[in-house]
Amino acid sequence: MNENSPHISKSIFVEILQDKELIRPDDILIFQTIYSLEKQEASATELARIIGWTDKNGVVGRIVGLGKRILKKYEIKQRVRENGTKAFWDFFFTGYDKGNFFIYQLKPELKSALEECGLTKNIGQINLQNAFLFAWNPDNWKWIDLEKNLEELKNTGKVTLKWSCISHNKVRPGDRAFLIRLGVNPKGLIGSGKVISEPFLSPHWGDKDKDVHRVLIEFDVLIDAEKEQILLLENLKNKLKNQNWTPQSSGISIKNEIIPELEKEWFNFLATTKLSFNPFEEKTDNSRSFVEGSALQVTQTRYERNIEARNECLKHYGFTCVVCGFNFEKTFGNLGYKFIHVHHLTEVSRIKKEYNVNPIADLRPVCPNCHAMLHKQNPAITIEELKEIITNQK
């Protein structure tokens, strides 16, 4: 937080929140929305998207407007930037840069005032992870390395590819990525993974003199539609009607309200479909597949890879290793945003049958090093035992 940031006490915030001449419904909506987020922080772009406004200007404009109204009634020393302009956002937030975004953090005094005024009752937590739909049309671009990419995925559990992204001002590392095949039959979903880079410019595939925005996507599922079954476009349109499944551009936003249903539909498809490589498919023996140095250094069964269970675990425990306390974002900044492994307290391969994972009771976030050490023995050692080993080595 800037040392010159203005300070407004909780009692003054309570007065402001109860003053009908100062506060407006949209102002309260902004504060309630950021309050509902996991770490009570977000960019203006994210807030606008959650609320449903066109762009971040809707958020920034309302914050500035409220700040100006407050200054007319209260004697608050306003921070002046180096270029001579005055700041308003830090009346209400602290903040920091994350890649291409500026992140607002709700001030503790405003948080307490919202609670005291009863403006946070019945507010559930919102998951900020977004999802994007990337597109491939074989008529426009021949994927000559597809077989090579599929082989890499089969051998290592992941393959990283760059893909054009029209939503370059919204996408962030850690966001969910789905890949859809369009243009020629069969049409439908052929891949999924996560975004692992900030957007960057690179030459257009058809015009070397033209640059387009792209992101790196780490795929954990990729299907050759010419040889294997895919989740057909017709099924998506019938079951998830409130989404554009035939975009003209690659990398469009997937509506937040359908993401859980899309994840379920995709998971159910993978869990019931025979593919040459399927990380969700149950092993028929007790073997475990580990990949040295890979982010997928986990048992490759459909239980372990259930993204819904993983998300619920991380929503509860966060992204810090429960064994050694390492946090990738704190060490690597934006590069480490929302990166962590998820460990089963009871190995799936030892259960030998399908079971319902309890994300809170059965899963824990661990860093790759600790995850590898937990599985160094068979059966795996416990988290408590590994903690004791670390303590004894200090």
Model confidence pLDDT, tens digit, residues 321-378: 999 999 988 887 766 777 888 888 876 544 444 446 788 888 999 998 898 898 887 7
In a domain, 372, yes or no: yes
In a domain, 325, yes or no: yes
Model confidence pLDDT, tens digit, residues 115-147: 999 998 877 656 556 899 999 999 999 999 999
Q: Phi and psi at residue 233, in whole multiples of 5°?
A: -60, -40
Q: Are residues 20 and 109 in the same domain?
A: yes
Q: Are residues 332 and 263 in the same domain?
A: no
- Cβ atoms 117, 18 nearer than 8 A: yes
Q: Are residues 142 and 111 in the same domain?
A: no
In a domain, 294, yes or no: no
Give the range among 8-22, 123-137, 167-181 with minimum mean pLDDT. Answer: 123-137
* Residue 284: pLDDT over 50: no
Q: Are residues 97 and 152 in the same domain?
A: no
CATH number at residue 90: 1.10.10.10
Averaged pLDDT for residues 290-311:
44
Averaged pLDDT for residues 170-186:
92
Averaged pLDDT for residues 181-196:
95
Number of domains composing the chain: 3
In a domain, 46, yes or no: yes
Q: Report the percentage of the chain scoring pLDDT > 90.
A: 45
- Cβ atoms 317, 364 nearer than 8 A: yes
Largest CA distance in the chain: 72
Place of tokens 């994927």: 143
Q: Which string of DSSP letters, residue by residue, matches 192-225?
A: EEEE-S--EEEE-SS-TT-EEEEEEEEEEEE--T
Averaged pLDDT for residues 254-283:
80
Q: Are residues 187 and 259 in the same domain?
A: yes
Amino acid making up residue 326:
F
Among the candidates 116, 142, 171, a domain finishes at 116
Q: Are residues 107 and 143 in the same domain?
A: no
Q: Are residues 355 and 318 in the same domain?
A: yes
Domain that holds residue 376: 307-393
Model confidence, pTM: 0.52
Provide the pLDDT for residue 291: 32
Q: Are residues 16 and 67 in the same domain?
A: yes
Q: Are residues 240 and 142 in the same domain?
A: yes
How far apart, in Å, are the Cα atoms of 47 and each of 42, 68, 91, 221? 6, 21, 17, 30
In a domain, 299, yes or no: no
Find the length of the chain: 394
Q: Report the percentage of the chain scoring pLDDT > 70.
A: 86
Q: Are residues 135 and 112 in the same domain?
A: no
